Structure 1
Amino acid sequence: MTLPASLLLVLQVTRPCFTKHSFETFCHLVAGTVAQTGRRTVTGMLTGAGLSRLWPHRRAHAFFSRASWDPDRLGLRLARAVIEALLPADAPIVIVVDDTLLHRVGKKVFGALWAHDGSGRGKDKLGFGNTWVIAAIVVRLPFLIKPIALPVAARLWRGKGTISRTDLALEMVHDLAAVFPDRTLHVTGDAAYHSGKVADLPGSVTFTTRLPRNAALFEPTPPPTKKRGRPRKKGAALGPLTAIAKTATWRLTVVERYGRTEFVWITERECLWYGALKDLPVRLVLVRDLDSAKPYDLALISTDHLSITEDLVERYGTRWPIESVFGHMRQDLGVGQAQSRTRRAVERTVPFDLAVYTIVVLWYTAHGHHPADITERRTSQPWYTTKTTPSFSDMVVKLRRTIIAARHIHNPAGQPRPDEIAAVIRAWEAAAA
């Protein structure tokens, strides 16, 4: 099988993460994951690559369970490729963190447990499987209206009694900050992501999250009184958020959220969230929709003291693309369908699949996009009357077609092309003369 040269060009950025043998396996399994339309088990990837009769299936299994490669290093290489290709040199890096449950069956699956499942049925919303904390870089592509999130790191959460999901997310942020020490990183997450360890983040990293309704806020740390005793670490209590909202001074402004431009009321103030972030100074931002009767509709806490308030609101709005990632990675790439059970295999299959997600977008941006893609889609499926931009599904289909076409136009090894035959004949004639 011959892989498309354009895909190999994108895959080349990951070459330092593998040995020669592992890199070859990695490239073909990436192509197999994209080309496969059935289940993306490990053997399904091999079948999608067209190698099920050429390679023993243990080669594909060994890539995840025994081969020498690090999924964290792979993610950081892709993060560098994303930032160099899709972000201006002086632009801050927006990172979104969130977690998702991938359902698994079997008591011997490493790390599988009962955990919260946002898409689960019933009042408790529980599911059995592996919970993955994922960090994604948010970028804007020239052919898309809304921003898109590209996953670059993933860690398996082992349940209560182990390192928390927030701390796993902060570990990934520390790794990204070490790779890009000269860039500003804006991290955002939902209300579940807060920890006192946010104070340990480098100075170039800010953290923005939604504030729970029952959060206890205080005035900033008062100045020392030069009296005996330990200085106070927090000021007076501010009361519940509803009380803060009723006494605040609001102003009308325009923000861009979720691909829409909206008028909203906003207010802000400096404070401490002592119960979660201790004496770390933060900004409280309250947002109220234009026609809302509530005291406020959204409360944010941020360690960013330099950006304007509208930027903080818009930045939290960019958290939504990671929810789209969770949907597309299941539907279009079959993430979580691999039946791995051992620790190394479980900890590698999902990061591998997420790397494929980012590779697809990198490939489509650099080599695959064409305005005719939308015209073709609307012609074949005329019910998409308002479709103007490609979806991730369109990107996968375009790359799948390119991979399949490369198989059929492949020139078998050892069989010379006509121009090569002519060149050899000319060389013989020149030598005979």
Structure 2
Amino acid sequence: MDELDFLFNECHPAFSSHSSWTKCRELMYGSLTCLGRRTVTGMLAASGNQFVDWSGAYRLFSQQRVDVTKILNVVQSNVLQETSSFPHIIAHMDDTIIKKTGKRIPGTAWRRDPLGPPFYTNFIWGQRFIQMSLALPRNGQTCQSRAIPIDFHHCPTVAKPRKTADKEQWDTYREEKKIAKLSRQGAERIKLLRNRLDDQKYNQKELVIGVDGSYTNKEVLKNLPHNTTLIGRIRKDTKLYTIPDKQTGSGRKRVYGERLPTPEQVRQSSQYPWQQVQAWAAGKVHKFDVKIIHDIRWRSAGPQNLALIVIRPLGYRLTKNAKVLYRDPAYLICTQTKMNIKDILQAYLWRWEIEVDFREEKTLLGCGQAQVRNQNSVESIPSFIVAVYGLLHLANYRANKLSKMELLPRPKWYPLKKQKRITTGDLLNNLRAQIWAKANKLNFSHFVNNETNTRSLRNESNSPISAFFYLRN
């Protein structure tokens, strides 16, 4: 709680007045302690404001009395301070859809459901956002990492004009449609992040961004800013080329040389040797077999040199005696040919954390559950929830670094591990327990010690306080 308060105090310039800061602080704790839906009224009730005027909480966002971008900038600057000793700044970018039901909510439209079955395309009604996160490693470069969100940008589609609209309206629609494309918006967010890093005197540090296949295209690759490396996934049948030989004489210079095998053919070929690289993934350090080809070119990237990385699929067993199954191979490109293969692989594997962010922001913190219709509120409240998520994990990281935190012991069905990862559910439980223990004048330390001692006993009847502190959404 102390670290969370300290971080939120740094966000004071993001508010139009001190009263707005105070009200937003109450909403922040309401969003973290609420056990129901994270609507604005749910946050107010969780913070004990259910019998006071509620309209000020709505005006906080509808009249733009809080600049959520500045709160996320505070999160970014603190993450950069924690990772200042690392040679690169590792970032992740991806988009997500927040489901909605109201057809008159600004920015909503029919979207393709990414969780639909592969044999049938489902559509859902919702909003679309692009998120950028910075990697916050736990210890060292080959270790566990947490993705801390620093940007959450609303990306609505452009409304299509009627068939009877004039030519000028259709021309305007086509131009706005190009600007609203996710790839164009993604390229703009990368440029904005690079500019912010330059303003914070990180202009000499390389920014390494991991993306999926939807952003590995010419719109992003041909518009990368300076000191920026992109690691993205490509198709297994991508057409790649060598660098052309030096051309003598007149005529237009060649950009692409001889045709190379496709990434799938490279994986199957014995011409390119495998090399073993260690990297952290799925809770431990794995040994990955990879192939790497330097100095290749791709038409989507233009005249810049790339590196191709082919990752052999890992084997795993569903049970101890089951047969070995294999995941799919991965094919990556990197715009920095001199970067260490170990750093490339680890930076991309850390990208999975942004998917964890999306799930926890929606399920645990209720991002998108606020029932608002105002244009400003529709955009800013989900961003505020994401900013609270980032502040929570940053406060946890700093509290762990300063001293050993006093945490609620995990339930008995959790395995006892020395290097256990503190989940977001654990953080929310501990924060609620600290707040409720303080409000009810309970000795939190005594309760934690008592629960730790009785954890190994059988048929132990839990007290009402224990059941109260271990409430889940």
For the criterion TM > 0.5, the same-fold answer is: yes
Report the residue type matching 2:414 in the other structure.
Answer: Y
C-alpha distance 21-253 of structure 1, shift in aligned 2 (>3 A)? same
Q: Which residue of 2 aligns with 1:384?
A: 414
1:287 equivalent in alignment to 2:311? yes
| Corresponding residue of 1:243 | 265
Compared CA separation, residues 270 and 21, structure 1 to 2 (3 A): same
Query: Cα offset for 1:71?
Result: 2.8
| Aligned residue type for 1:253 | Q
Match of 1:373 in 2: 407
2:217 counterpart of 1:195: yes
Tell which deviates more after alignment, 188-197 or 362-371: 362-371
Q: Equivalences for 1:316-395 in 2 at 5 Å?
A: 316-367=348-399, 370=404, 373=407, 376-377=409-410, 381-387=411-417, 388-395=420-427
Q: Distance in 2 between matches of 1:331 and 1:145?
A: 26
Q: Which amino acid aligns with 2:415?
A: T
SS of corresponding position for 2:289: strand
Give deviations 1:333-391, integer Å, cap 9, x for gaps.
Answer: 111111122221111011101001011112222337746526x11xxx21112453321
The Cα shift of 1:279 comes to 2.0
SS in 2 for 1:277: coil
TM-score, normalised relative to structure 1: 0.84
**Who is 2:287 aligned against?**
262
Contact 1:194 1:277 in 2 (8 A): no
The CA deviation string for residues 88-141 of structure 1, in whole angstroms up to 9 with x for no partner, is 344421101111111100111111112122224572143211121111111123
8 Å CA contact retained: 1:186, 1:205: yes
CA shift in 2, pair 1:29/1:293, >3 Å: closer
Structure-2 residue corresponding to 1:107? 103
Equivalences for residues 83-98 of structure 1 within 5 A: 83-84=80-81, 86-98=82-94
Aligned-pair Cα RMSD in Å: 2.7
| Residues 231 and 6 of structure 1, relative CA distance in 2, 3 Å threshold | closer
The letter for the 1-side match of 2:42 is G
Q: Distance in 2 between matches of 1:221 and 1:62?
A: 61
Change (3 A) 1:145 1:282: closer
Aligned CA distance change for structure 1 residues 253 and 110 (closer, same or farther; 3 Å): same
1:407, CA displacement in angstroms? 4.3
Give the AA of the match of 2:304: L
Distance in 1 (CA, whole Å) between partners of 2:325 and 2:35 is 48
- CA 1:279 to 1:383, structure 2 compared with 1: closer, same or farther past 3 Å? same
Of the three residues 20, 23, 29, the one matched with 1:22 is 20
Q: Secondary structure at the match of 1:373?
A: coil
* 1:417-432 superposed matches below 5 A: none
Task: Check whether the contact 2:233–2:333 (CA below 8 A) recurs between aligned residues.
Answer: yes
- Report the 3-state secondary structure (helix = DSSP H, G, I; strand = E; otherwise coil) of the residue aligned with 1:364: helix
The superposition leaves residues 226-278 of structure 1 with CA deviations (integer Å, 9 ceiling, x where unpaired) of 32x3222222222432333326421331321413322414232321121x222
Determine the structure 1 residue equivalent to 2:38: 40
- CA deviation profile, 1:171-211 (whole Å, cap 9, x unmatched): 22222222222232110111111233433333221111011
Q: What is the distance in 2 between the residues matched to 1:316 and 1:116?
A: 25
Taking the aligned partners of 2:364 and 2:211, their CA distance within structure 1 comes to 25
CA 1:69–1:329: 2 relative to 1, 3 Å = same
Letter in 2 for 1:219: T
- 1:404–1:222 CA distance, 2 compared to 1 (3 A): farther
Distance in 2 (alpha carbons) for counterparts of 1:65 and 1:244? 54
> How big is the shift at 1:281?
1.6
**Closer/same/farther in 2, CA of residues 44 and 293 from structure 1, 3 Å limit:** closer
Opposite residue 102 of structure 2, the aligned amino acid is G
- Counterpart of 1:118, as a letter, is P
- 2:347 equivalent in structure 1: 315
Equivalent pair of 2:266/2:272 in contact (CA under 8 Å): no
Q: Output the CA distance in 2 between the equivalents of 1:145 and 1:301.
A: 23
Would the aligned equivalents of 1:134 and 1:169 in 2 still touch at CA under 8 Å?
Answer: no
Partner of 2:301 in structure 1?
277
d(CA) in 2 for partners of 1:247 and 1:238?
Answer: 15
For the 8 Å contact 1:285–1:299, the answer to whether it is kept is: yes
Gaps of 5+ in 2: 159-176, 316-323, 442-473
Deviation at 1:221, TM superposition (A): 4.4
The percentage of aligned residue pairs carrying the same residue is 22
Please list, as runs of the form range in 1=range in 2, the aligned pairs for 1:385-424 lying within 5 A after superposition. Answer: 385-387=415-417, 388-408=420-440
Partner of 1:185: 207
Distance 1:249 1:290, change over 3 A: farther
3-state DSSP class of the match of 1:206?
strand
Matching residue of 1:416: none
